[in-house]
Amino acid sequence: MTAQPSTMPIAHALNAGLRDAMESDDKVMLLGEDIGQLGGVFRVTDGLQKGFGDLRVVDAPLGEAGIVGSAIGLAMAGYRPVCEIQFDGFVFPAMNQITTQLAKYRHRSDGKISLPVVIRIPVGGGIGAIEHHSESPEAYFAHTAGLKVVTPSSPQEAYDMIRAAVRCDDPVIFLEPKRNYWLKGEVDLSRIPGPLEKASIVRPGEDLTLVAYGALLPVARKVADVCAEEGRNVEVIDLRSLSPIDDETILRSVERTGRLVVAHEASRSVGLGSEIASRVQDAIFHSLEAPVIRVTGYDTPYPASRLEEEWLPGLDRILDAIDRSFSY
Amino acid sequence: MTAQPSTMPIAHALNAGLRDAMESDDKVMLLGEDIGQLGGVFRVTDGLQKGFGDLRVVDAPLGEAGIVGSAIGLAMAGYRPVCEIQFDGFVFPAMNQITTQLAKYRHRSDGKISLPVVIRIPVGGGIGAIEHHSESPEAYFAHTAGLKVVTPSSPQEAYDMIRAAVRCDDPVIFLEPKRNYWLKGEVDLSRIPGPLEKASIVRPGEDLTLVAYGALLPVARKVADVCAEEGRNVEVIDLRSLSPIDDETILRSVERTGRLVVAHEASRSVGLGSEIASRVQDAIFHSLEAPVIRVTGYDTPYPASRLEEEWLPGLDRILDAIDRSFSY
Amino acid sequence: MTSQPLSLLTQDGTYQSQMALPLDPGSIDCAQLLRDMIMTRRVDSEAIALQRQGELGLWPSLLGQEAAQVGAAASLFPRDVVFPTYREHGVAWCRGVDPVNLLGLFRGTTMGGWDPTENNFNLYTLVIGAQTLHAVGYAMGIVRDGDVGTGDPERDRAVLVFLGDGALSEGETNEAFVWAAAQNLPVVFFCQNNQWAISAPYSVQSRVAVAQRAQGFGFKGIRVDGNDVLACLSATREAMAAARSGNGPTLIEAFTYRRNPHTTSDDDGRYRSGAENDVWESLDPIERLKNYLVGSNKIDQDFLSKVGAEEQELAEKLRAGCRALPNPAPDHPFRNTYAEMPKELEDQMIEHLSFVETGA
Amino acid sequence: MTSQPLSLLTQDGTYQSQMALPLDPGSIDCAQLLRDMIMTRRVDSEAIALQRQGELGLWPSLLGQEAAQVGAAASLFPRDVVFPTYREHGVAWCRGVDPVNLLGLFRGTTMGGWDPTENNFNLYTLVIGAQTLHAVGYAMGIVRDGDVGTGDPERDRAVLVFLGDGALSEGETNEAFVWAAAQNLPVVFFCQNNQWAISAPYSVQSRVAVAQRAQGFGFKGIRVDGNDVLACLSATREAMAAARSGNGPTLIEAFTYRRNPHTTSDDDGRYRSGAENDVWESLDPIERLKNYLVGSNKIDQDFLSKVGAEEQELAEKLRAGCRALPNPAPDHPFRNTYAEMPKELEDQMIEHLSFVETGA
Ligand SMILES: Cc1ncc(C[n+]2csc(CCOP(=O)(O)OP(=O)(O)O)c2C)c(N)n1
Ligand SMILES: Cc1ncc(C[n+]2csc(CCOP(=O)(O)OP(=O)(O)O)c2C)c(N)n1
Ligand SMILES: [Mg+2]
Ligand SMILES: [Mg+2]
């Protein structure tokens, strides 16, 4: 491990984070389809089975309920399993284990048993994939009490957050913005990870708050650049933690700016944008100069990939929402 | 069938609705655990196997994925299956079939194939039950494009809505407020069911709008009574359809009243209340005199039943929210 | 296709040895087994009474399944780990779980009731089949701890997981079979085929015996008379020994009968006749063992009186203990959702507690 | 425990009859089978080429599995219904699905691509195992239509569902086995055991043959040489006949090999050696049938030239057809989510279309 910051893509930062976690705690182990010799379809676990053996990096049978269910048992036996679900669309066979078992066990055991299970899921669209390979299932998890839900947006965040997730005593759904796996950035490998549940202001501004997460962060930054040219200072917040939500950071920002736009790829209805809008209008009703505006995936199934570029919330749709906000 | 309105509880109204649906279309069939001779644990299908035979009322093997998955196949073969999931907490093994298959098939088939499947689920708490028997999973379904999600609140609605759901060409998640199964009311068995997706104003008022659904409707009416004594005229809206949401009815109401409280049993975060709050503040920002306030189950697992009475949103918590709304 | 369940004891108490069920009955404390079965039945009948009195919301009775549970449990070493369904009151008893603590879940004072690590007896699982995968995961942990196949009797251990006949139809149960077989895990699946899943007779799930399922996955299945405590003990002991020594999983079918309704809320008159029940009453597992022990002079009236007195004591303890079970504090759900309470949840808790305090 | 897969043809083209695989080769249009296999392979290789040219995002190749697919498909009557995975291009071909329409899903112009009711060939299913339950449900429908066991060859029908070796580990697949067995449904499970689930060799899923799984559920499993089109045809024909006549389900394991990477996106050099591939190349199913047909003078060079010309024509049609596949309209997802578009969704559509129009 080097103390020098080095440049790497998100996929490698995750790999480095997993490697560190496995080195520093031999109870950490990985479970998933094709994560061994293949290194996962996105190569996030590349080389880890070679490094840590096939008892710690387990190529799972093709069953997601089995992956999460056995991770629960492993956690009960004192392990810290990190599961990989191959694609967002394939987490649903594990929903029973996640919602009725994993999320509830601390409560059921009157706080006596922790289940430190991490479930890594590549999420989101924009990679020209076929059906079930471009889903954004975060709302299902964020609605489920007992789960933490986080998503990094940069290599440094990926490196920090995966290590923090593995150390967390609660189950963590770890969403990896797959279209940015190869997005590069500087990573300080000696950084001590901060708290998982904090949002971060990645670009300060006074005129409007833009909340985004995961794959939309680069888009949000570009939006802010464009707005800056027009003389509008947009404050960009990387939500990072989708459950719990860091209200404090959002509210303090919107108190200053008076305007809020929230962007995500997942369908609009009953999504994270709804939750944030709902909280903000309740908490600081009188500070809002315009309604909270959501820019999201539409309430349709994810479309055929020839349509995705337009279907996904992008620069123009977010700029339009910002215009609308300022029109109040 | 009689044309005379008669008094019956919700469970019987559902039974009558299913019987009518089966009589008028021999492609309608029922699938579920213990729905045959036992008539379902809540007796909603009582006598139907006797009346229609065990090819049309099928006691399913103990597997929810099997129930929904085979209903999909039956629908492809021209049937209109109505599934019963025994309790809310047991729908999760079927989540894969519901979200990745049932909800998406019309889209996948470029509109060529309809899957007229109804999934009946007794939902909600307040009956002193053990774990997994008091859940309110509506948000998972309302977030899933391609599903309709509805819930009746009275015997008449139950009778009308189950027949409309069976006739609907889209998949319908039909949530039955289990603690009110034995709530009686008049049912006009000759009524032609109206559209599924309309909300209904069950009590007009000018001062504040209260949106609720399912088991909270009787509570909402009581709230309105109490408010009336204090000189506040609360308009109570029964949401009925949780997806799609009848924005029109809600918005026109809040435009008049300027205040909105939404109540549901499900956990607060990323719930139906969030969605409604979010839509309303966006659509009629300037009409709101106070923030939209949510009164909901908390963001914890459903508690042990000794705690449920206090945990569930009840009269006092809703009244308190109304007070808070008027304090703006 | 379905073979007769293997047994060692006839109903009148005759012991008949069986190649497939190795056992030296002289080496077994059969009196203790009888005592455990009697005490288990008493826990059950007291709980039913408490439910009738309104002290419990619900109770799933094990009447008729005492031999299966006590026999299986008697095969365990303390370091073995058990994953039960919601009906294993007899196993809980044998593991040393305070039976009062079994009542909390059904009284509504807790979702659990005991510390799973104290007796290596996990919490009841209500979602059919879910625990089979936890058992598999735990067994993977045992393999990784190196506590299997060492030959050291103080070290090797295994997992015993219970399931019902209905659970054989859940996808998750079958995934557990896949994992256990492919990885040759130290886990034994003990299925009490009580012939009913609520109102569904076993024929709704399958046309072949439970034990046969294992063959499809490439591991051993064995079908024993679930009303014969010695047969259950022998089969489970063999299977657990194989598991501990690295020889992989077994599926045990204990063929028995659920003599009471599914739970106290169920009305089994709607779907089955009493005649079936009469047959199975005549095959009562406690009577069977008693016949054997009395017939072979292994117990006397004294012993039975002593157990009778213990039963009485237990009953009183249960009644008092049930009523004394503390209600959970109103902040319980908030404090036990996460290791550290998130701010927003803390706000919800404060809001809630103020309602509770003002009696609203 | 695992038996040798049954076959009828040796690689050099010798026909050897088999009790368990009844077939009168004289009654079969073997030349047609060969043609279908050749055309299928051409669809596959053209699609791979189109992917390399950037015309498709991805393609799951069936190279090496032509015999399994064409053999299975040749057992079907038009009224039988097929549920494929995503690799059954050969079955699609035999069912009469325009192969151009197979490309849309992988080009990103549609999520489906054909009308499932037109050829009784359902849409590809990407979620492993999910289609097995649809097949079961459809078979329940056939039972309810009374179209099973009537003895009327114009009426009886059954379902043929495809799955991979990896799919055997999904809970849903096993639930499908439960339902099919318990209700004795007219459904045949055809598993192409190509020995790999992406990078996972079959040993990750199971230590016993695929076909053995059926035993655990109480129905018949049969293991055939998946590179032998006649063996596949015979086994599937027997199984479908049994299903149609009311004798319930069968699980067929066609033991074969996935000679290409999982999809064009996969890099199989990371997890397997080319040596294995060489062996299976030497067992090529098309060569085997050709050897038989040429050896027994059932085809001549003329036939092969004619098929070669047809292939060429097909290739051109595919290339042109692929490029001509229409992009979906921007309102496509909105119009196909519900039978009737909800108001809020219509608003979203209008908003979206205005963005699309302004080129934003
Ligand atoms: C996933 C799931 N589906 C449905 C239920 C409702 N349910 C509770 S017990 C039961 C029958 C279980 O039968 P079996 O497995 O034979 O166990 P037994 O009750 O006979 O001990 C059912 C259907 C459940 N608890 N979990
Ligand atoms: C539920 C689910 N989990 C994971 C995947 C990702 N995935 C796609 S194909 C595949 C392997 C399938 O192997 P097999 O069933 O043997 O079929 P084959 O590809 O060999 O034809 C996997 C894991 C998926 N499509 N669906
Ligand atoms: Mg049972
Ligand atoms: Mg395969």
Catalytic residues of B: 133
Query: CB-based contact (8 Å) between D333 and chain A?
Result: yes
Closest partner CB to D200 (pick from A39, A59, A301): A59
**Would you say the CB of residue D329 lies under 6 angstroms from ligand 2?**
no
Closest partner CB to A269 (pick from B103, B243, B301): B243
Max CA pair span of chain D: 70
* C-alpha to C-alpha distance for B315 and B305, rounded to whole angstroms: 18
Cβ contacts (< 8 Å) between A305 and chain D: which residues? 57, 108
The token pair that represents B320 in the structure block: 């308190």
Positive or negative torsion for Cα D268, D272, D275, D276: negative
The token pair that represents D167 in the structure block: 């799919």
Query: CB-based contact (8 Å) between B90 and chain C?
Result: yes
Query: CB-based contact (8 Å) between D139 and chain B?
Result: yes
Q: Is C24 exposed, middle or buried (0-12, 13-18, 19+ CB in 10 A)?
A: exposed
Query: What does DSSP say about strands B28-32 and D81-83: parallel, antiparallel, or unpaired?
Result: unpaired
Q: How far is the CA of D199 from the centre of ligand 4 (A)?
A: 9
Catalytic residues of A: 133
CB B242 within 8 A of CB B196: no
* C-alpha to C-alpha distance for C183 and C165, rounded to whole angstroms: 24
Q: How far apart are the first and last CA of chain B?
A: 52
Q: Topology of A6-187 in CATH? A: Rossmann fold (3.40.50)
* C-alpha to C-alpha distance for D49 and D314, rounded to whole angstroms: 14
Q: Name the band, by pLDDT with cuts 50, 70 and 90, for residue D237.
A: very high
Strands (E), C172-237: 187-193, 196-197, 200-201, 220-225
The confidence score (pLDDT) of residue A3 equals 57
Provide φ and ψ at D93, rounded to 5°. -55, -50
In degrees, to the nearest 5, what angle opens at C-alpha A99 toward C-alphas A110 and C88? Answer: 55
Cβ contacts (< 8 Å) between C1 and chain D: which residues? 218
pTM tops 0.95: yes
**Would you say the CB of residue D165 lies under 6 angstroms from ligand 2?**
yes
More confident residue, B36 or D2: B36
Determine the residue of A62, A85, A119 to mutate for testing ligand 2's pocket, defined as the one with the most ligand atoms within 8 A of the Cβ atom: A62
Q: For the residues A149-167, what does the mean pLDDT come to? A: 98
* C-alpha to C-alpha distance for A107 and A95, rounded to whole angstroms: 18
Tell which CATH classification among 3.40.50.920, 3.40.50.720, 3.40.50.970, 3.90.180.10 matches the domain D25-328: 3.40.50.970
Helices and strands (H and E) in chain A: how many: 12, 14
Name residues whose C-beta falls within 8 Å of residue A238's C-beta, 6 or more positions apart in sequence: A153, A157, A199, A200, A201, A202, A212, A213, A217
10 Å Cβ neighbour count for D190? Answer: 30
CB B54 within 8 A of CB B96: no
> With 50 as the cut, is the pLDDT of residue D115 above it?
yes
The confidence score (pLDDT) of residue C304 equals 96
Contact (CB<8Å) B110/D178: no
Contact (CB<8Å) A274/B269: no
> With 80 as the cut, is the pLDDT of residue D300 above it?
yes
Q: For chain B, which residues score pLDDT lower than 70?
A: 1-3
The confidence score (pLDDT) of residue A5 equals 78
Q: Whose CA is nearest to atom 21 of ligand 2?
A: D164
Name the residue in chain B with its Cα closest to that of D114: B109
> With 80 as the cut, is the pLDDT of residue A4 above it?
no
Place of tokens 């289990």: B178
Q: In the complex, which subunits touch B with 3 or more CB pairs below 8 angstroms?
A: A, C, D
**Start-end of CATH 3.40.50.920 domains in chain B:** 200-326
**Would you say the CB of residue C87 lies under 6 angstroms from ligand 1?**
yes
Name the residue in chain D with its Cα closest to that of A295: D348
**Would you say the CB of residue B90 lies under 6 angstroms from ligand 1?**
yes
Q: How far is the CA of D198 from the centre of ligand 2 (A)?
A: 7
Place of tokens 């365990």: C76
**Would you say the CB of residue A315 lies under 6 angstroms from ligand 2?**
no
Query: What does DSSP say about strands B148-150 and B241-243: parallel, antiparallel, or unpaired?
Result: antiparallel
H or E, element range at A217: helix A217-229
**Nearest ligand, CA of residue A65?**
2
Query: CB-based contact (8 Å) between B252 and chain D?
Result: no
Determine the residue of C66, C124, C128 to mutate for testing ligand 1's pocket, defined as the one with the most ligand atoms within 8 A of the Cβ atom: C128
**Would you say the CB of residue D226 lies under 6 angstroms from ligand 2?**
no
Question: Helix, strand, or coil here: A64?
Answer: helix
Measured CA to CA in angstroms, residue A50 lies from A29, A56, D197 at distances of 13, 10, 20
Contact (CB<8Å) B66/D136: yes
Looking at the CA of residue D60, tell me the nearest atom of ligand 2: 19
**Would you say the CB of residue D164 lies under 6 angstroms from ligand 2?**
yes
Measured CA to CA in angstroms, residue D139 lies from B26, B72, B100, D82 at distances of 17, 11, 21, 11
Query: CB-based contact (8 Å) between D146 and chain A?
Result: no
DSSP lists the bridge partners of residue D192 as D164, D254
Cβ contacts (< 8 Å) between D167 and chain A: which residues? 62
The confidence score (pLDDT) of residue B5 equals 79
* C-alpha to C-alpha distance for C285 and A131, rounded to whole angstroms: 55
The confidence score (pLDDT) of residue C2 equals 60
The confidence score (pLDDT) of residue C359 equals 65
- On whether the B200-326 domain is CATH 3.40.50.920, my answer is yes
The confidence score (pLDDT) of residue D2 equals 60
Q: Which of D167, D164, D177, D189 is nearest to D243 (CA)?
A: D189
Query: CB-based contact (8 Å) between A303 and chain D?
Result: yes
**Would you say the CB of residue C198 lies under 6 angstroms from ligand 1?**
yes
Name the residue in chain B with its Cα closest to that of A268: B143
User: Cis peptide before B193, with omega less than 30 degrees from 0?
Assistant: no
Looking at the CA of residue C164, tell me the nearest atom of ligand 1: 15
In degrees, to the nearest 5, what angle opens at C-alpha C137 toward C-alphas C136 and C141? Answer: 115
User: Cis peptide before D99, with omega less than 30 degrees from 0?
Assistant: no
Q: How far is the CA of D159 from the centre of ligand 2 (A)?
A: 22
Q: How far is the CA of B321 from the centre of ligand 4 (A)?
A: 57
In tens digits, chain C (360 residues) has pLDDT values of 467 999 999 999 999 999 999 999 999 999 999 999 999 999 999 999 999 999 999 999 999 999 999 999 999 999 999 999 999 999 999 999 999 999 999 999 999 999 999 999 999 999 999 999 999 999 999 999 999 999 999 999 999 999 999 999 999 999 999 999 999 999 999 999 999 999 999 999 999 999 999 999 999 999 999 999 999 999 999 999 999 999 999 999 999 999 999 999 999 999 999 899 999 999 999 999 999 999 999 999 999 999 999 999 999 999 999 999 999 999 999 999 999 999 999 999 999 999 998 865
H or E, element range at A148: strand A148-150
Determine the residue of D127, D194, D198, D203 to mutate for testing ligand 2's pocket, defined as the one with the most ligand atoms within 8 A of the Cβ atom: D198
**Would you say the CB of residue D41 lies under 6 angstroms from ligand 2?**
no
Q: Which of C339, C351, C344, C316 is nearest to C99 (CA)?
A: C316
Give me the interface pTM, i.e. the ipTM.
0.98
pLDDT, mean over chain A: 97
Strands (E), B104-249: 118-123, 148-150, 172-177, 184-187, 200-203, 208-212, 234-238, 241-243
Using CB atoms and an 8 Å cut-off, which of residues 117-156 of chain A contact chain C?
145-146, 148
CB A254 within 8 A of CB A285: no
Kindly report the nearest CA distance between residue B40 and chain A, in angstroms.
22
CA C69: distance to chain centroid? Answer: 5
The confidence score (pLDDT) of residue B1 equals 46
Contact (CB<8Å) A299/B108: no
Closest partner CB to B65 (pick from D110, D123, D171): D171
Contact (CB<8Å) B75/D338: no
How is chain C split into domains, by residue range? Answer: 25-328, 329-360
What is the full DSSP assignment across A35-49? -STT--TT-TTTTHH
**Would you say the CB of residue C166 lies under 6 angstroms from ligand 1?**
yes
Looking at the CA of residue D194, tell me the nearest atom of ligand 2: 20
* C-alpha to C-alpha distance for B282 and B279, rounded to whole angstroms: 5
Q: Whose CA is nearest to atom 3 of ligand 2?
A: A90
Q: Name the band, by pLDDT with cuts 50, 70 and 90, for residue A1.
A: very low
Provide φ and ψ at A317, rounded to 5°. -70, -35
Using CB atoms and an 8 Å cut-off, which of residues 275-314 of chain D contact chain B?
none
The confidence score (pLDDT) of residue A186 equals 97
The confidence score (pLDDT) of residue C64 equals 98
Query: CB-based contact (8 Å) between B59 and chain C?
Result: yes
* C-alpha to C-alpha distance for A312 and C5, rounded to whole angstroms: 61
Closest partner CB to A292 (pick from B131, B142, B278): B278
Query: CB-based contact (8 Å) between A275 and chain C?
Result: no
